[in-house]
Structure 1
Amino acid sequence: MKWQNLRKDYVNYLRLERGLSENSILNYSRDIKKLENWLTENEIDTSPKSISEEIVQQFIYEVARKVNPRSQSRLISGLRGFFNYLVFEDYRKDNPMELIESPKTGRTLPDTLSTNEIDQLIGAIDLSLPQGERNRAIIETLYGCGLRVSELIGLKISDLFFDEGFIKVTGKGDKQRFVPIGAHTIKYIDLYREGVRVHEKIQAEAADTLFLNRRGKALTRAMIFTIVKQLAEKAGIKKNISPHTFRHSFATHLLANGADLRAIQQMLGHESITTTEVYTHIDKRHLTEVINRYHPRKEP
């Protein structure tokens, strides 16, 4: 079978049987497409069913010179999953990625914003513009609830349970969770909803979507990245930040102020506590404080 056909079958498998998010599916599809394009560029005529380990190794070696270890590791993982699927479906008897090791990437963490820097960034928003109230509500929600950018743009008005103090969030793999929301964040969402959103001409398909662009449609991931980058530049913040920086800051600040790691895990929607530990990069000072405060042998 051709690459395109099996890639399509794999995408359907990821969507229907694995229940992965569209972003994850798109990334896996791109990994396979990179291999397809490389084979075409090098005039190598081989199918997914017959491609050898040697050819795959050559592809990985050439790609390794062009991308960082983290990107290389993700590519290897994506292709290994694809060939595992082919073995499972009896298209192949072996996985040509089996002996290819992923590079060690270490744990790299994004920059964290201090509370002062977050205030600076919000202070840079021009509230005289209609989108100003919206952008303030967006930043407050990213930081106040620790959302992923995909969770933010997918947030519905029907997901807001302000009386109970929660919002319903749809995360990776369409898994839903309830996240606490504070009065501070609620205030700015309501200012946007009641002062700006009600006056916009909203497209039918976005009637329940909370954050809208000027055409009355749902915002895109790219637009949220642009908003954050422009505000950081205007506020004079030199750190390399993105929408995810607010999620990381949310977890870090909660931990530093004494929040339980398990509670943070639930709010972030992490399946593994190890992932939460990476995001919150526990520092030695915090660990020392924990020992001094809670250990039964602490000094009086």
Structure 2
Amino acid sequence: MPHQQAMKTNLKKAQKEFVQDLYDRKKSSLTASAYTKDLDQLIKYLFNCGVTAVEEVSSRHLEEFLQNLYDAKKLSPKSVSRKINSIKSFANFLVTRNYLTNNLAKDIKHPKLITKAPKIFSKTECLALREVARKDPKTLTMIELMLQTGIRISELAGLEVSHLSLGRPATLFVPQRESQKERVIPLNTKAKEALQKFIDTERQVNSAFLFTTRSGKAILIRNIRSSMERLFKRAGLKGSKVNDFRHTFTGHQLAMGVSLQTICRVAGHKTLTTTEKYLKYMKIKKPGIKEVLEEI
């Protein structure tokens, strides 16, 4: 249906309303940030095409934008697929708010993705990482904690001392974070000893957070990531990612006979299917039945 010029909706205005709707529906700040960046890129492309209003956008514009991501931006199919999710969500929002009568993105197909096996550090590589971090107690403790518990980098950054119980049994409480449920992780001897040593000798006592900056504030995720990337290079593991610690935890625990259910619960996987994939990566035919975490 044609619209009068005065009734047209500016794309940036619609984007702002969409992002606010994400927050209203309790979507995570990470999700909102990712969608904002993706739509910023789309809207910039549309503006360069002379398209500034929602009603002026066509399916052809969206298809050409996505093709541009492949040709000019050289993005991977996985990155393009994520942007398609953002576009589809935005298009659906525009329909529900009656800015559009038809969903322009409904026929857009996701590219086929080739699932790569995750990087799982060998025992030798784990030793190499510990060795290069030997003179940096904070980094060494973070490495040990990620290897022995499989916690996410965001969970690591937000840990407070009150989340730890280093008695018998030793446990780590991971509070609910956005879409992740709270859970209690049993700490094996390596994790417990590393934490106890760090708290007794290195930790700043004037902060509630376990890992802090020099000013006592919680360490930032990007700082952890930068620190680990430097560490990977020094250990000869260039190209590795922080999330590889989590893959390593899951893979090695399965290899040592810990049950799928135990690992799924400890790692905070949303479904058992996620954990089961590692059986193939580790070439395990029959999963174990142990309910206690082993040491890596």
Q: TM-score, normalised by structure 2?
A: 0.85
Report the counterpart of residue 219 of structure 1 in structure 2.
219
Instruction: Select between 51-60 and 209-218 the one with higher mean Cα deviation.
Output: 209-218
Structure 1 residue 118: Cα displacement: 0.8
Q: Determine whether 1:244 maps to 2:252.
A: no
Report the counterpart of residue 37 of structure 1 in structure 2.
44
- 5 Å-filtered alignment, 1:35-74, equals 35-42=42-49, 44-65=50-71, 66-74=74-82
Percent sequence identity over aligned pairs: 26
Deviations 1:93-115 (A, max 9, x none): 22211111010112123321012
AA matched with 1:109: A
Structure 1 runs of 4+ off > 6 angstroms?
A: none
Unaligned runs of 5+ in 1: 294-300
Report the counterpart of residue 161 of structure 1 in structure 2.
165
Report the Cα distance in structure 2 between the residues aligned to 1:162 and 1:5, rounded to whole angstroms: 51
The 8 Å contact of residues 258 and 287 in structure 2, kept in 1 or not, is answered as no
The 8 Å contact of residues 141 and 185 in structure 1, kept in 2 or not, is answered as yes
Report the Cα distance in structure 2 between the residues aligned to 1:284 and 1:212, rounded to whole angstroms: 35
Report the Cα distance in structure 1 between the residues aligned to 2:190 and 2:106, rounded to whole angstroms: 51
Q: Kindly tell me: are residues 94 and 179 of structure 1, through their superposed partners in 2, closer, same or farther at Cα, counting changes over 3 Å?
A: farther
The 8 Å contact of residues 161 and 167 in structure 1, kept in 2 or not, is answered as yes
Structure 1 residue 126: Cα displacement: 4.1
Unaligned runs of 5+ in 2: 1-8, 290-296
Deviations 1:234-269 (A, max 9, x none): 22x235212101000000001111222232222222
Report the counterpart of residue 254 of structure 1 in structure 2.
253
Q: Determine whether 1:269 maps to 2:248.
A: no
Report the counterpart of residue 31 of structure 2 in structure 1.
24
The 8 Å contact of residues 171 and 269 in structure 1, kept in 2 or not, is answered as no
Q: Kindly tell me: are residues 4 and 133 of structure 1, through their superposed partners in 2, closer, same or farther at Cα, counting changes over 3 Å?
A: same
AA matched with 1:166: T
Report the counterpart of residue 296 of structure 1 in structure 2.
none
Q: Kindly tell me: are residues 285 and 53 of structure 1, through their superposed partners in 2, closer, same or farther at Cα, counting changes over 3 Å?
A: closer
Structure 1 residue 142: Cα displacement: 1.1
AA matched with 1:253: H
Q: Kindly tell me: are residues 270 and 256 of structure 1, through their superposed partners in 2, closer, same or farther at Cα, counting changes over 3 Å?
A: same
Report the counterpart of residue 92 of structure 2 in structure 1.
84
Q: Which has the higher helix share?
A: 1
Q: Kindly tell me: are residues 266 and 284 of structure 1, through their superposed partners in 2, closer, same or farther at Cα, counting changes over 3 Å?
A: closer
Report the Cα distance in structure 1 between the residues aligned to 2:184 and 2:54, rounded to whole angstroms: 42
Report the Cα distance in structure 1 between the residues aligned to 2:222 and 2:215, rounded to whole angstroms: 16
Name the Cα RMSD after superposition. 2.3
How many residue pairs are counted as aligned between the two chains? 277
Report the counterpart of residue 108 of structure 1 in structure 2.
116
Report the counterpart of residue 232 of structure 1 in structure 2.
232
Report the counterpart of residue 188 of structure 1 in structure 2.
194
The 8 Å contact of residues 83 and 97 in structure 1, kept in 2 or not, is answered as yes
Q: Kindly tell me: are residues 25 and 40 of structure 1, through their superposed partners in 2, closer, same or farther at Cα, counting changes over 3 Å?
A: same
